[in-house]
Amino acid sequence: MSTVTVKILVVEDEPVIALDIKQRLNHLGYQVVAIADCAESALAAVAQHQPDLALMDIRIRGEINGIATAAKVRQEYNLPVVFLTAHADAATLAQVKATQPFGYITKPFETQDLSTAIEIALSRQQAEIAIQNALIQEKELHEMKSQFIAVVSHEFRNPLSSILFCIDLLERQEQLAPEKKQIYLQRARSSVERMKELLEEVLVIGEADAGKLLCQPTPLDLPNFCQELIEELQGRAGHQCTLGFALHKAEAIELKPAFFDAKLLRHILSNLLSNAIKYSPQGGEVNLDLIYRPEQVTFRVQDRGIGIPASDLNQIFHSFHRAKNVKTIPGTGLGLSIVKQCVEAHGGEITVESQEGVGTTFMVTLQPASAEIAFSPSPQKTELSDKF
């Protein structure tokens, strides 16, 4: 920590001594934010100025001494305290040790000793904070792994049960009508596809957590890419929803293959579109719009489903978070987290607008890895539709 920015509270009831300490600290480059002479003023100064460290005399004005004050400051504000006192008897030292001080300097003292004690105390405080943060992160990681295992295990169990059920029926009913057999085979195939998607989600989350989610752009025909994805998902959605795709661009823009990571882009769009279908239980339209603009493209996914409650909007990209209105609709809560990480791997942005009971719109804006969206020279200025 730089001494220029270090803020120090001095707790000393002798004005002359307090002024001397302040002058020495200023000379060393520290900032004295306040001088307090009793417990009440010391606690008030900590709350107001939020110092980085307190220099505490043991004998101060009032009924509460410096040792008790230091204990309160440490407990309530996690502020490191260095005692600066003339008392060094065994009884006093025993009381001081109970507060776990960051330093102890006896008067009279040398300025260099004061500087050394402060720097050691600040260094120890930083180390303790780092350890606390590491423990918190470890706890959160452990909880997330436990939740991850529970969610994925549950989501795997359902398609596995469906596959086993279909196999059992096909084995026991040899004279099954062809159309019935086709239904069971399709159900088993859908379950296999769901398990494949879950495995893909697990792999993406693992790569992202390990910092190995790489963006490897290759030239893509975006309109064709989007149209093929829409046709694929329409087959899965059946009659539940009607999926539509539209391309929007200014006339001056000449379409050429754009450089994106096809795998990551597929994760982005398939998750958004699948969610739009899943959370439109009453059916309706789900639209994917590809909007070309100068030096960037925007993918807009819009549905008219159950929407996202306002209280959930700030958390929807967190792993395992599911909106409170999803009820019994199955899901892992990983899809949007994966979408956000894939968007960020492209250096892009994602935004969402939603109203419960009305529908949801996601906007993903990406810049191609190289300038593959060419502009034909034209003196005429052609604007995009006002709709966009």
Domain count, the chain: 3
Residue 74 lies in a domain: yes
Residue 81 lies in a domain: yes
- For residues 22 and 56, membership in a common domain is answered with yes
Gap between the Cα atoms of 116 and 338, Å rounded: 48
Residue 58 structure tokens: 């043991």
- For residues 64 and 165, membership in a common domain is answered with no
Strand ranges of the sheet holding 53-56, from the earlier edge strand across to the other edge: 31-36, 7-11, 53-56, 81-85, 103-106
Region 196-213: mean pLDDT is 73
- For residues 194 and 234, membership in a common domain is answered with no
Which pLDDT band, with edges at 50, 70 and 90, does 155 fall under?
low
Gap between the Cα atoms of 279 and 301, Å rounded: 13
Residue 1 lies in a domain: no
- For residues 63 and 39, membership in a common domain is answered with yes
Gap between the Cα atoms of 359 and 331, Å rounded: 18
Q: Is the pLDDT of residue 327 over 60?
A: yes
Q: List 54's β-bridge partners, or say none.
A: 9, 81
Residues 6+ apart with CB under 8 A from 380: 252
What pLDDT does residue 224 have? 93
- For residues 186 and 93, membership in a common domain is answered with no
- For residues 229 and 309, membership in a common domain is answered with yes
Region 19-34: mean pLDDT is 93
Region 374-380: mean pLDDT is 36
- For residues 203 and 222, membership in a common domain is answered with no
- For residues 199 and 58, membership in a common domain is answered with no
- For residues 143 and 97, membership in a common domain is answered with no
Place of tokens 């450089």: 259
What pLDDT does residue 375 have? 35
The CATH number for 227's domain is 3.30.565.10
Residue 33 lies in a domain: yes
Q: Is the pLDDT of residue 97 over 60?
A: yes
Phi (first) and psi of residue 190, to 5 degrees? -65, -40
Q: List 145's β-bridge partners, or say none.
A: none
Which pLDDT band, with edges at 50, 70 and 90, does 293 fall under?
confident
Across 3-7, 12-16, 63-67, 158-162, least confident range = 3-7
Residues 6+ apart with CB under 8 A from 307: 325, 354, 355, 356, 357, 358, 359, 360
Region 55-84: mean pLDDT is 90
CB 151 within 8 A of CB 333: yes
Final residue belonging to a domain, choices 209, 227, 260: 209
Q: H-type helices in the chain, by residue range?
A: 15-28, 39-49, 66-77, 90-98, 111-172, 178-209, 222-237, 262-278, 335-345
Residue 260 lies in a domain: yes
Gap between the Cα atoms of 76 and 73, Å rounded: 5
The CATH number for 15's domain is 3.40.50.2300
Residues in the chain: 388
pTM to 2 decimal places: 0.55
- For residues 370 and 234, membership in a common domain is answered with yes
Q: pLDDT: is 154 or 309 the higher one?
A: 309
Residue 118 lies in a domain: no
DSSP state of 33: E
Final residue belonging to a domain, choices 179, 209, 239: 209
- For residues 54 and 154, membership in a common domain is answered with no
Average pLDDT over the chain, rounded to an integer = 83
SS (H, E, C) 241-276: EEEEEEEECCCCEECCCEEECHHHHHHHHHHHHHHH
Gap between the Cα atoms of 54 and 34, Å rounded: 10
Residue 124 lies in a domain: no
What is the domain range of residue 17? 7-109
Residue 176 structure tokens: 């099954």
Which pLDDT band, with edges at 50, 70 and 90, does 388 fall under?
very low
Q: pLDDT: is 196 or 111 the higher one?
A: 111
Final residue belonging to a domain, choices 209, 235, 266: 209
Helix 178-209 vs helix 111-172: angle between axes, to the nearest 10 degrees? 170
Phi (first) and psi of residue 137, to 5 degrees? -65, -40
The CATH number for 143's domain is 1.10.287.130
- For residues 225 and 261, membership in a common domain is answered with yes
